[in-house]
A = this chain, B = another copy of it.
């Protein structure tokens, strides 16, 4: 194993933010900071914490007080992840619509690949102590991530889960940097890892304009009943969420939706030469 520069590891890990939603116990925020700092993560975003600030945060954070100063407080999950490219929602339970689900290790490998090769911003979102994330919050994620545990016992508390996710993020970073440092190392990269993308990827915020557009288009052509869309919006999020569209693809698809809408409401007409041809 090569010698890895600790500061460089932390620099990569600065692109991974931990997001805690509606946390009740300040002690859990403090423990989370400590867990993050032991592994070199630095960015914690709190979505509407129940109690903040609180001396328990400082007490449990031990020496990680510099991270307390960097905490970002926002009002909604939307605000916490809007500039992120890849969002993981943590989920212990099986949901009605299964989402693309990764174990902590491949999720961390995917994340750090995206950071090192494409400077992506990553978020891992943790829910409330008692009931986790809502289905709406989980639907904002590209992937769900789970930590394999003893199913006869139950789940980790939120600080323990952050500890293991942070550990896997660090391990994945060191592994990738090791590969870079040693040119003779066998590059067991998958297609996805090997792919250096030519176009920048769209952010979560842009995708939040994408979904209303495709839904409106499908409502226009009566493929979806907006009053009773059933599982369709969720299926679309699951499908396009795991693609990670680049900007050109994004504009390509939105262009198609706009054309279909214009065709549907008569503001766009087929050109003369084609008008008499049957479309099979």
- A contact residues vs B (CB 8 Å cutoff): 1, 6-7, 9-10, 35, 37-40, 63-64, 98, 100-103, 105-106, 109-110, 147-156, 160, 163-164, 167, 170-171, 174, 188-192, 194-198, 216, 218, 220-223, 232, 235, 239, 242-243, 245, 248-249, 252, 255-256, 259-261, 263-265, 270-271, 274, 278-280
Contacts and interface: CB of A to CB of B under 8 A. Distances in A.
A152 B6 contact: yes
A170 B149 CA distance: 8
Nearest to A151: B6
Contacts of A223: 255-256, 259
A71 to B, nearest CB: 17
Contacts of A256: 218, 221, 223
A274 B103 CA distance: 46
A264 B255 contact: no
B239 A245 contact: yes
A185 B76 CA distance: 43
